[in-house]
Structure 1
């Protein structure tokens, strides 16, 4: 009787070393996606969507499409990490690892928003120019137009920053630190300084801000208790309640192994 040998499952679509390189370079990758998406959408509208206007088809359209395809492949790779770079529930990772459930709810949306965000960034300056009287057919209206234009520009800048950090969004644990990469900033916490980890419900004001910004209800996230008495909220960790509970379990296991 021959013995059946079960084949070992692949670690992932790409090697861990390559994934970490893509991960560290992801803001640049997202920037390429934004630029290519903005060019492709605008040029496509001008060539095929505007009547009685002569906008010829140019080489920039297939180039932007090709860049967008490459960006799409990189985005798929970033969203399907190898198992060896993911944090384990028993906390037995020997090197840096991503706590994948934390931040998972919005990671996909912020990444795939890159092409549309490129369009928004491209058109954001126009309301400011119109408010300043750039178009002779429209009189300048600084009192009304300029605040609206500045608000739109600030929103576009914030959205751009969020999208650039889309693949980084979440929590990473290393042998010595917990790294929380939120929508706007990155915070680091020493492993030995963490006393406890809890899944919590957001207070009303961060709930309102994040829900407005993401156009979806944002309720659950992770909260740390530190040696000095601080209790920071990890907005990088917000996701569905089930994801946050699993992520908290992974971080607790990682922390307990330091004892």
Structure 2
């Protein structure tokens, strides 16, 4: 494997549009990792990349804290996309001499574990349990299999029914490929959400904890060749779930608070995987 060339961080920053950055810190104000832990400042990484500071940047644990939710890019008034830069720099990291494939596997496993834990927290909120207290037990819920229980639908399971809505969706799976939280398809898979709705299983989707894992990054919509606005469809489904009484009216706010409880332990696990 070859080491990154000195200009590559700058190239990643250019692709992110750093030259338009106003240093307004809008990205910081919406970053869920920063809100939950205070340990990720997108603007800092953007500036380091723009300055071509290679070694400190490519060895920064913060690159791997990012959830790729794309909120930084959505909030930026001049369309700078720190999340895209972070994604490109991660690719550069994996080309470094001495980078181990086992580290990639460990980090991928942790991202999967985080979404599994979030699934259990969403399930607890829907059932009226003490999800906030459960969130303090990261290790337990990160490794807990999804339950086989009546009324709980793992969206990796296909159902039968009459097709309706989302008629343009070809179930090609492009959305699944780019989704930053699809690791275990039974936990979350956007194309399965759309397929279930098309098969007349909307009510099953509205009752599922998986519906609430979506980060709203919009990558599914950007990748869809049929122009299905996937992230907006999921947002409407979430609104319907609350309107029909399947989820509490403050569901989104509660899950954001729970994420803030989960993230410190997740970041600690990331540092351990990186050996830092």
TM-score, normalised relative to structure 2: 0.23
Q: Which has the larger share of helix?
A: 2
Normalized per residue, which structure has more strand? 1
Q: Which has the larger radius of gyration?
A: 1
Q: TM-score, normalised by structure 1?
A: 0.24
